[in-house]
Structure 1
Amino acid sequence: MAQSQYNFKNPAVKRLMREAQELKDATEQYSAQPLDDNLFEWHFTFRGPSDSDFDGGMYHGRIILPPEYPMKPPSIMLLTPNGRFELHKKICLSISGYHPESWQPSWSIRTAILAIIGFMPTKGEGAIGALDYSPQERKNLAKKSSTWSCQCCGSIKQLLKEPGQDSHQKTESEIRDEELAKQINFSKPKTQTKSESEKGPSTSTTEEDSSSTPPNTDGLRQRQTSPPEISSIPPPTTPQQPAPQTQIQQPPPQQNAQRHQEDSTPFMLIIVLSVVLAVLLLRRLDRVYDLRGNLF
């Protein structure tokens, strides 16, 4: 590793150099080291947990650490076909960059690796980057995993000690990390929204986009992590009913007769008065003629 390119007063560099020194010797269960040209990218290898579908398997992964490490969490992805996590895709765990709110600076790279080992037998339950292969498929992949080779690290089989060869006494840092890993909650993390999953966690500039990694060529089926979008169909509209026509209410026949009677009353009075006047006038004329006859 070209150490001259780093500022050793930087807290992240100091922390990573210390962890690299603590993890320089591989164990039967795991190993991890930074790349020769990048202190902020690590590759790790671990054995599958015993008494599980991954028993006997050997799995290799990649860790991208942010410049703010250990104040911010790393991003973790697996590279070996395993049936539990998608390949070359960031894993959504409480110890990864998907959930910075649950990350603790006291955790380390070794804590994260031990947590992944403990997390392997749990159910995916639709979490980001999770797979739910059948037990038989996982066992078949576990048998094939020891022959897998990394482009940077070579054959992963040589990266771990053989069972029974690790006789060293555990250091205080190893015991501490094991205790911290046991305390990590393996419950399903809070589901992210679509916009959050598309945006992804904040990572350092040294991180490569997961889409630029080579696709899985092992002929393994990948689980679709998000359901297909269903276009919203508007509800059928109810045809508008034509506005009812305003009908003119006709008065009943009795009201019409009464109204007609009321309208004709003045006219009848005029006729009656005219007749009376005519009779009186005729009588008056008769008297006049009678008087004339008497005079002559």
Structure 2
Amino acid sequence: MARYNFKNPAVKRLMKEAQELREPTDQYFAQPLDDNLFEWHFTIRGPDDTDFSGGYYHGRIVLPPEYPMKPPSIIMLTPNGRFELHKKICLSISGYHPESWQPSWSIRTAILAIIGFLPTKGEGAIGAIDYTPEERKVLARKSQTWSCPSCGLIKQKLKARGDGSLPKSEKQLQDEELARQISFSNPKPQTKESPKSDTPVSDSTQEQTTENTGLRQRNVSTPPSDPQPVVSQPPQAQQINTPRRRAPEDTTPMMLIIILSVVLAVLLLRRLDRAYDLRSNIGDMF
């Protein structure tokens, strides 16, 4: 195995889990690759009383450097009729839904959850397929001879049923209990929430007639509160806000000045004319 910093939280956690999972069970087995602690291969037995009964299924678990704070990615390698091959599958325990992942979960919890997800419907989730029961049963029989290039014949990775198994450890029981609490319905794709309208919905009493049953459903809500009276603005305030109109300019003084100027000019000209006539008469006398 490659050299790692054993003070790293992810490395410490994975080394501990590898030690806990070193012994196979009749249901599952998982171990990291020899040269990569962050990639594990697992083998699971198909659950009884399902289309996968009698089958053996192999896959990869790729863990992020932030494990266990972030979830692993899960890839199936054995044809099974429920999950696509060589593609990351969308489950509530996988990297597609980090919001539902819990750091208390482990690789064992994820493997037990995969077993629980096998009989569920794909419902269009990423990496999910829905083969017919007959096709899945055929694949289950074929899986008994399937081999992994890295791990060999996967059927030999699990203990045979009826073999003396060691008593379950407290950690194993705890992981199985956590796996039972996982919801095995496929998570819906995340969608952006439409912004909520700030406009209040008026409360009213609605009656809806059901066509098929003829029953009426009443939706009685709190009566609307009395509307508050609208306070009109006082006339004085309205006058203050209204811009004043400019009064028309008075042109009477200007007209009087012009008229007086014309009269004075006429009088001045008449006096000049008389003075000129007077000079002319005096000249004729001499």
Same fold (TM over 0.5): yes
Structure 1's consecutive aligned runs of 4 or more residues displaced over 4 angstroms after TM superposition are: none
Work out which of the residue numbers 51, 55, 75 in structure 2 matches 1:57: 55
Map residues 3-22 of structure 1 onto 2, 5 A cutoff.
5-22=3-20
What do the CA deviations read for 1:14-64 (whole angstroms, capped 9, x no partner)?
Answer: 000000000001011000000000000000000000010000000000000
Q: Which residue of 2 aligns with 1:39?
A: 37
Query: Which residue identity lines up with residue 131 of structure 2 in the other structure?
Result: Y
Query: Gaps (5+ residues) in structure 2?
Result: 192-286
Which residues of 2 match residues 120-159 of structure 1 at below 5 A?
120-159=118-157
| Cα displacement (A) at 1:111 | 0.1
8 Å CA contact retained: 1:28, 1:166: no
> CA separation of 1:166/1:130 partners in 2, compared to 1, >3 Å: closer, same or farther?
farther
Deviates more, 1:54-63 or 1:150-159: 150-159
State which of 88, 91, 101 in structure 2 corresponds to 1:90. Answer: 88
How many residue pairs align between the two structures? 191
Give the match's secondary structure for 1:102: coil
Q: Is contact 2:21-2:31 (8 Å) kept? A: yes
Q: Equivalents in 1 of 2:73, 2:154: separation in Å?
A: 21
> Distance between the aligned counterparts of 2:86 and 2:161, measured in 1?
28
Letter in 2 for 1:55: S
TM-score by length of 1: 0.64
- The alignment yields a C-alpha RMSD, in angstroms, of 0.9
Separation in structure 1 between the aligned mates of residue 144 and residue 46 of structure 2, nearest angstrom? 11
Q: 1:72-91 CA deviation, whole Å, 9 max, x = no partner?
A: 00000110000000000111
Q: CA deviation at 1:109?
A: 0.2
Match of 2:117 in 1: 119
SS of equivalent to 1:174: helix
Q: Quote the Cα distance in structure 2 between the aligned partners of 1:161 and 1:148.
A: 16
Quote the offset at 1:192 in angstroms. Answer: 4.5
Residue identity in the other structure for 1:151: P
- Provide, for residues 223-250 of structure 1, a one-character-per-residue CA deviation record: whole Å limited to 9, x for no partner: xxxxxxxxxxxxxxxxxxxxxxxxxxxx
Aligned pairs (5 A) from 1:92-241: 92-192=90-190
Residue 78 (structure 1) aligned to one of 64, 76, 79: 76
C-alpha displacement of 1:158: 1.1
Counterparts of 1:133 and 1:172 in 2: how far apart (Å)?
37
Amino acid at match of 1:122: T
Tell which has more relative contact order, 1 or 2 (C-alpha 8 A, sep 6+).
1
Greater alpha carbon shift after TM alignment, 164-173 vs 62-71? 164-173
Structure 1 residues not aligned, in runs of 5+: 194-296
What code does the residue aligned with 2:115 have? I
Maintained 8 Å contact 1:27/1:166: no
Task: Tell me the amino acid that sits aligned with residue 117 of structure 2.
Answer: F
Q: Deviations over 1:133-179 (max 9, x none)?
A: 00000000000101000011111011111111142100001000000
Tell me the distance in 1 between the aligned counterparts of 2:155 and 2:113. 21
Letter in 2 for 1:124: G
Note if contact 2:44-2:56 (Cα within 8 Å) is conserved in structure 1: yes
What is the correspondence of 1:257-296 to structure 2 with a 5 Å cutoff? Answer: none
TM-score of the two chains, using structure 2 as the length reference: 0.66
Identity %: 79
- Tell me, in whole angstroms, the C-alpha distance in 2 between the residues paired with 1:192 and 1:166: 45
Q: Deviations over 1:235-291 (max 9, x none)?
A: xxxxxxxxxxxxxxxxxxxxxxxxxxxxxxxxxxxxxxxxxxxxxxxxxxxxxxxxx
Give the whole-Å Cα distance in 2 for the aligned partners of 1:31 and 1:146. 15
